[in-house]
A and B are shown apart, each in its own frame.
Chain A
C-alpha cells in the first residue's frame, strides 16, 4: 500500500509587492508596444512619454512604501533568496526610476527632432530600467546576469535606433561586441564562483566563505578576478574603458546620459553586492585589486579628458574618472565607503543627466566640437549658467553636491588608511577640473563673431536642467538627508 510519491513542484514564496516596481515598468513597456501596433494613430510621442513617466512615478511611490516596510520589518529576500529586498535595492530602484523619468523627458523632444520611433524607444528604455533594477536587487549571480543583459541589450538597440547616423550604428556594434566579450568574463566568473562555493546564490556564498577556510583558494581568486573584469567593463573602469568614449560620442545624447548614469550605477550596485556584501570575508584579497583599478581609472579619466576637443568625448572621460572615485570608495570595503559610493552615484547620476540634457539640446548629434559652445554665456546666459553649475559640481567645487560626494569618498579612503589613493583622488580632481573649466571658459571667454550658438530648447529639457541644478546646489548646502539615506542603504544579504 504505497501511495505513489508525487514529486510536485513547490514554487518558492514570492513577495510580489517587492517585484511590483519592475513589473510596472515592464507592463508599461508592453502597453506602449501593444497600443502602438493596434492603434498606431493614437500612439503619439506624448503618449509614450506620458506612459513612461507615469510608470516611473507609480513605481517610485511603490518603492517608497517598500522603503518603509524595510525600515519597519528589516531586510528580507524573495524567490528562494534570489531577489533581495533591502535598503540597497530600494535605493537603486529609486535612483533608476528618477533617471528613467528624466531620460523619458529628455528623449521626448529629441526623438521627434531626430526622427526616431518613440514607442520602441520607450519600450526599450523601460526594459532597460527593469533590467537595471533586477541587477541591483539580485541576490543570485544568475539573476544578476539576466538583469545585466536586459539592461545592456536594450541599450545596444537604443543606440542603433538612430539609424540615420552611421556613427550610431558603429558605436552600437562596438558596444555590443565588446559587451558580449566582457559578459563572457562575467559568466566564467559566475561559473568559477559556483565551483568554489557550490552556489551562485550570494547569501549562500557569503555564509560559505564565512564558515570555510580554504586550503587552496585559486579558484575563488580567479572567480573574483573574472567577475571584476566583467563589471569593470560595465562601469567603464580603466583599462576596460576604451569603448566608452567612442560609444558615448556615437550614441544619441539621451541614451548617452542613460548609459553614463544608470548602466554605470547598476554595474556598481552589482559590484558592491558581490564584493562588499558576499565576498566580505575576503576583502583583503579583492580590495587591493580594486584600489589599483581605481588608481588607473582616475589617472586615465583625468589625463585623457584634457586632450579631447569633442564635448561628448570629454564627458565620457569625465564619467570614467567618476567611476574611479566610486572605486576609491568601494575599495575601502567599509560601511562608510559603501555609503560614500551610494551618495556619489546618486549625486553623479543627476549631475550627468543634467549635463547631457544641455548637450542634447546643443544641436545635432553628429559632432559636439567645443567651439560650438563659444559665446553661449552671452547668447543664452541661463543655459550657460546651468551648465556651469553642473560642470563645477562634477569638478567637485564646494557648495555643490559634487564636493560633498568627493569629500566623503576621500574621507572613506583616509579612514581605510589608503592615503596614496586619497592623494591621487585629490590630484586627479585638480587635473580633471581643467577640462570642466575649459568648457566654462569657452562659453564665457571665447568670443564668437556670430550671434553665438542657438540650442534647440524645449520645456521638458529646461525642467530637467532646472531640477538637476537645484538638486545639485541644494544638496551641496544641505547634504544630510541623502547622507543618511545612503547610510541606511548599505547592502544586506539575508535568507528569505
Chain B
C-alpha cells in the first residue's frame, strides 16, 4: 500500500488540472467541491499509505520506502530523480497537511461564497496542496525545492488574491521578495551539500560520512536561512503579518498550519547534518523570535494580526525545540499548532464573515451568544494555545520547555525566555477572546452578526476536537504512550532523550501551568473586569512591533532606494549597454555576410566551392603538422 504514495500529490494535481480546464465553467459551488474532494481523497490516500507503513517492521529500516518515478536531471555525476520518500516523517507531515488542508478547503466553500474569482481560489488551493506534498515527499533536495518554490508562488498568488486592493498587492510582493532571501539559502545549501557529499538524495545524505565541522556548520546555517525565510523567523519574519491580506482560509492553511512549517520540516529532515554550533544559533534565534513576536501580539487590534504574530511566536518555539535537539517535540508542536492555529484562524474568519468584513477587535465584543459554535470552538483553540492541560498545546509546549531547560550551554536562559513567551501567549490570547466574544457589544448598529453556514462550522468542530485530543499522540505520562516519538525515531541520526528525572519534569510542568493560568488571570482582570488600566497595556511601541518593519521600510525606501537606483543605472548603462552592443555587433556581422545570400545560383555554387577549398586546406594543414 506504501506504493500508492504517488496518489497523495496526484489527486490535488488532478483537481488543479480539472479546475484549470473547466473551473470557471462549472463555477460556484462545484469548483469548490471538486477541490475539496481532491484534498479529502489525498488525505484518504495518506491514511492508506500510513497503514501500509505501519504494517512494516519498525526497526529493520523497512519503514523507509523510495518510489522513483524517473531520472529527472542526469548530468555527469549529479543524478536527480523525480522520486518520493515515504518514511515516518514525511507521512506524518502529509497526514496533517492533507487533513487540515481538506477541512480548510471545505470551509472555503462557504467563506468564498460570492467571490468573482471563486474557482480560481480553489485552483490555487489545490496547486498549493500539490506543491506542499511535493515538498514533503520529495526524496531529494531538488524535488523538495521544487515544492518549496511552488508553495512560495501559491502563497504569493493567494496573499495578493484580491490584488485590486493596493495593500494586498504590496503584501504579496513583500512575501515574495523576503522569501527570495530564504530561497537563496536553500539553493546555496543544496550546492554545498552536493559538492561536499556528491549527492542530494536524502537517504544517501543520511548515510554519507560527516562533513568537516566548519562545512557542516555553514551548511546548517544556510539551511536555517532557508527555514527562517519560509517559517518567518527573525529577521525575515516581516512578510507574515502582512500576509494576512489574503483571504482567511489562506491565512489558516498556508500561513499558519502548513507552508510556514516547511522550514521546521527541512531542518528535521536534515537533522543529521546540523552541528552543535548551528543548533545553538537556531535555538537562540527561535527563542528570540518567540519572545519578540509574543510581545508584538500583545498590542494588536486586528483580529488576524494577533494570530499572525502568535504564529511567528509559535514557530519560534518550534525552532527552539530544534535548536535544543528535540526534533520530535518540534514536529509534535507543528502538528498540535496546525490544529489549534488553523482552528483559531478559521474561527476568526467566521467572525469576520459574520461581522461583514470587520477585523478590528475594538468593534467587536459579546459575540458568544450570536455565534455560539464559533465562540465555543475558538475558546477550545484559546485553551490549547494558552497551554492549559489537557488540551493539545500544553503537551507539546511543555516538551519544548523541558528540552530548552536541558539545552547544554544556556538551557535555563532559553527556558526562561520560553516561559515568559508562554505567559505572554496566555495573556494576549485571553485578551483576544474577551475582546471578541465577551464584554459589552461595540459594533455599529447596522452590523448584524450571524453564525456561519455548516461548511464553515463543521471544520471548526472537527479541528476543535483535534485541538483537544491532539496531544494524545505523544503523552509523556507512560513511556509506551509516546507514539509519535517511537514512530519518528528511525529518521534521527542522534535520537534525543530527556535526561531530567521525573521530579524535575513535574516541577517544570507545574510552573508552566501556573504561568499559563497567571497570564489568563491578568488578562481577565484587565480586559473583562477592567481592574487594571488597559491603556498602558497597549504601548504604541509594541503595536508597531517595535518598529522593526517600519525601520526596514525606511532603510529600503531611503538609502536603499538610492543604491537600488545606482544598481539600476549600472544595469542600464553597463549591462544593457553590453547586451545591446553585442546585439548591434551581431546585426552588423549579419549585414556583412548578407550579400552572400544574393539569390543567384552562381554565387551559391561559389560558396560551396570555397567551402570545399576551406575543408581541403584545413585537412592539408593537418597533414603538414
Contacts and interface: CB of A to CB of B under 8 A. Distances in A.
Interface of A: 174, 177-178, 181-182, 185, 217-218, 221-222, 224-226, 228-229, 232-233, 238-240, 242-243, 245-246, 285-286, 288-289, 292-293, 299-300, 302-304, 306-307, 407, 411, 431, 434, 477-478, 480, 483
Contacts of A303: 586, 589-590, 593
A289 B618 CA distance: 7
Contacts of B603: 242
Contacts of B614: 239, 292
Given A177-B601, A239-B614, A307-B590, 16 more contacts: A181-B605, A185-B608, A221-B620, A222-B616, A222-B619, A228-B615, A242-B608, A288-B618, A288-B622, A303-B590, A303-B593, A307-B591, A434-B583, A478-B70, A480-B71, A480-B74
Contacts of B481: none
Contacts of B390: none
B608 A229 contact: yes
A398 B607 CA distance: 36
Nearest to A300: B593
A174 B619 CA distance: 29
A185 to B, nearest CB: 6
B594 interface: yes
A156 to B, nearest CB: 14
Q: Looking at chain A's contact residues, is the secondary structure mostly helix, strand, loop, or mixed?
A: helix
Q: Looking at chain B's contact residues, is the secondary structure mostly helix, strand, loop, or mixed?
A: helix
A407 B75 contact: yes
A300 B583 CA distance: 14
A289 B619 contact: yes
A245 B597 contact: yes
Nearest to A222: B616
B601 A240 contact: no
Contact of B587 (A239, A243, A292, A306): A306
Contact of A307 (B76, B587, B610): B587
A225 B612 contact: yes
Contacts of A286: 619
A226 B613 CA distance: 9
Interface string B322-366: 000000000000000000000000000000000000000000000
A288 B617 CA distance: 12
B516 to A, nearest CB: 51
Interface residues of B, number: 34
Contacts of B591: 307
B619 A242 contact: no
B602 to A, nearest CB: 10
B611 A239 contact: yes
B447 interface: no
Given A239-B608, A288-B622, A229 B615 contact: yes
A331 B594 CA distance: 27
A270 to B, nearest CB: 16
A483 B608 contact: no
Contacts of A293: 615
18 contacts: A185-B608, A218-B623, A221-B616, A221-B622, A224-B619, A226-B612, A228-B615, A229-B608, A238-B611, A239-B607, A286-B619, A288-B622, A289-B619, A303-B593, A304-B590, A306-B590, A480-B71, A480-B74
Nearest to B588: A303
B369 interface: no
Contact of A242 (B72, B76, B607, B623): B607
Contacts of A285: 619, 622
Nearest to A243: B604
B357 to A, nearest CB: 36
Interface of B: 70-72, 74-76, 583, 586-587, 589-591, 593-594, 596-597, 599, 601, 603-605, 607-608, 610-612, 614-616, 618-620, 622-623
B369 to A, nearest CB: 54
B590 A242 contact: no
Contacts of A232: 611
Contacts of A217: 623
Contacts of B70: 478, 480
A174 B583 CA distance: 32
B622 A304 contact: no
Interface centre among B76, B594, B597, B603 (most CB of A within 10 A): B597
A285 B616 CA distance: 11
Given A246-B599, A478-B70, A181 B608 contact: yes
B616 A225 contact: yes
A81 to B, nearest CB: 28
A285 B619 CA distance: 7
Contacts of A288: 618, 622
Contact of A225 (B75, B604, B607, B619): B619
Contact of B612 (A185, A218, A304): A185
B585 to A, nearest CB: 10
Contact of B594 (A182, A239, A304): A304
Interface centre among A178, A222, A225, A288 (most CB of B within 10 A): A225
Contacts of A302: 586
A309 to B, nearest CB: 12
Given A411-B76, A480-B70, A483-B74, A178 B615 contact: no
Given A431-B586, A480-B70, A289 B615 contact: yes
Given A242-B597, A303-B590, A178 B611 contact: no
A182 B74 CA distance: 40
Contact of B618 (A242, A292, A477): A292
A11 to B, nearest CB: 39
B615 A225 contact: yes
A188 B75 CA distance: 42
A229 B604 contact: no
Nearest to B579: A430
Nearest to A224: B619
Given A225-B619, A245-B597, A304-B597, A178 B605 contact: yes
Q: Which 5 interchain pairs have the tightest Cβ spacing?
A: A242-B604, A239-B611, A229-B612, A303-B590, A221-B619
A246 B607 CA distance: 14
Contacts of B619: 221-222, 224-225, 285-286, 289
A493 B529 CA distance: 96
A17 B397 CA distance: 75
Nearest to A232: B611
Contacts of A178: 601, 604-605, 608
Contacts of B586: 302-303, 306, 431
B489 to A, nearest CB: 36
Nearest to A304: B590
Contact of A233 (B590, B608, B616, B623): B608
Contacts of B76: 411
Given A221-B623, A239-B608, A239-B611, A307 B616 contact: no
A177 B605 CA distance: 9
Interface centre among A181, A232, A239, A240 (most CB of B within 10 A): A239
A303 B614 CA distance: 21
Given A246-B599, A304-B597, A240 B587 contact: no
A455 B620 CA distance: 53
A414 B43 CA distance: 47
Contacts of A182: 608
Contacts of B601: 174, 177-178
